[in-house]
Structures are given as structure tokens and as C-alpha cells.
């Protein structure tokens, strides 16, 4: 995959990910450790620290593990995809939820903020499904969308 020419830190982030992966591989009891994926947000919300939501591990081994990170204007969902799925995994993005589908398994992520489906997208890369959702602006008095 080609790096973004406007993102001068892409190589640094890729190298950092490889370093973290090597560290985890060399940890004691590394067979239980796994990296679901990563999202690096370089712009922080001006008014607030970024919010990170960690979810408990799936109750059932057949569930799809995921995590959600939210900023002022975006929601990021990262899901681990099982090795060698039979069909291409995908994300069904709705205004108030996202359904992640891998073969005969699916998980629905309910969203606290409505999202703009047109400007939201997902990408599958190396067993990680990265979903980027643009929050819909809420109208304020005198501001019509």
C-alpha cells in the first residue's frame, strides 16, 4: 500500500507498529497476546482529551473482537478479522450503527452519535478492518444543514 504523500509520519507509524509487534512476540506467554490493530490520531480535540472505549473480550470465541475510539468529529472502529475468511469481510454503515460481517459471523456496534454515511468508509489491511466514521453535524439555532 502506498503511503499518503501528505502524511510525512506514515513510515514512522509503520515502523512503530512493527516494533510493538516484535515486543509482544517476545513477551512471556505471548501465545495469549494479540494485537487487534491500531489507529493513530495526530489531531487532538481542542477542548478535550480523546475518548477511548475499551470493550471486554468477546464472550464467545466466535464473536468478532473490536474497539471504538471517538474524537470530536470522527468515530474509529477497529476489528480483528479471523485468518483466511471465505468471503471478503465488510462493514455495513448505517446512521446509528455499524454491522461488521465476516462469513457467517457478524457484530453490530451501536453508535452514540449519528454519522454521515457518505463520508464514512472502511479498509481491510493485514487482518484488521479499520472503519472511519464522520460524525453528522447537529444543527444549532441559525445553522441549517
Give domain status of residue 117, yes or no.
yes
Q: Are strands 90-93 and 97-102 parallel, antiparallel or unpaired?
A: antiparallel
d(CA 52, CA 36): 15
Confidence (pTM): 0.58
**3-state SS track over 4-52:** CCCCCCHHHHHHHHHHHHHHHHCCCCHHHCCCCCCCCCCCCCCCCCCEE
Ranges 5-9, 102-106, 132-136, 138-142: which has the least confidence = 5-9
For residue 134, give every residue at least 6 positions away whose Cβ sits within 8 Å of its Cβ, in sequence order, or none.
Answer: 73, 74, 115, 116, 119, 120
Q: Output phi, psi for 106, to 5 deg.
A: -155, 155
The confidence band for 141, taking pLDDT boundaries of 50, 70 and 90, is: low
pLDDT tens digits along 49-95? 544 444 445 555 567 888 898 888 999 999 988 878 899 999 999 99
CATH number at residue 80: 2.60.40.790
pLDDT tens digits along 42-53? 444 455 554 444
Q: Are residues 31 and 52 in the same domain?
A: no
Q: Are residues 77 and 15 in the same domain?
A: no
How many separate domains does the chain show? 2
The whole domain housing 104 covers 44-135
Q: Are residues 57 and 95 in the same domain?
A: yes
Residue 65 in contact with residue 79, Cβ under 8 Å?
yes
Q: Are residues 114 and 51 in the same domain?
A: yes
Assigned C-alpha cell, 87: 468471503
Give domain status of residue 143, yes or no.
no
Amino acid at each position: 500500500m502506498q503511503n499518503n504523500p501528505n502524511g510525512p509520519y506514515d513510515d514512522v507509524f509503520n515502523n512503530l507498529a512493527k516494533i510493538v509487534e516484535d515486543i509482544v512476540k517476545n513477551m512471556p506467554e505471548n501465545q495469549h497476546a494479540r494485537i487487534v490493530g491500531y489507529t493513530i490520531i495526530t489531531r487532538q480535540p481542542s477542548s478535550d482529551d480523546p475518548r477511548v472505549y475499551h470493550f471486554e473480550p468477546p464472550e464467545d470465541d466466535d464473536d468478532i473482537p473490536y474497539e471504538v475510539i471517538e474524537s470530536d468529529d470522527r468515530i474509529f472502529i477497529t476489528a480483528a478479522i479471523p485468518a483466511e475468511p471465505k468471503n471478503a469481510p465488510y462493514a455495513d454503515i448505517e446512521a446509528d450503527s455499524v454491522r461488521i460481517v465476516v462469513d457467517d459471523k457478524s457484530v453490530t456496534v451501536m453508535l452514540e452519535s449519528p454519522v454521515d454515511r457518505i463520508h464514512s468508509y472502511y479498509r481491510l489491511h493485514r487482518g484488521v478492518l479499520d472503519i472511519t466514521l464522520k460524525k453528522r453535524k447537529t444543527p444549532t439555532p441559525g445553522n441549517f444543514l
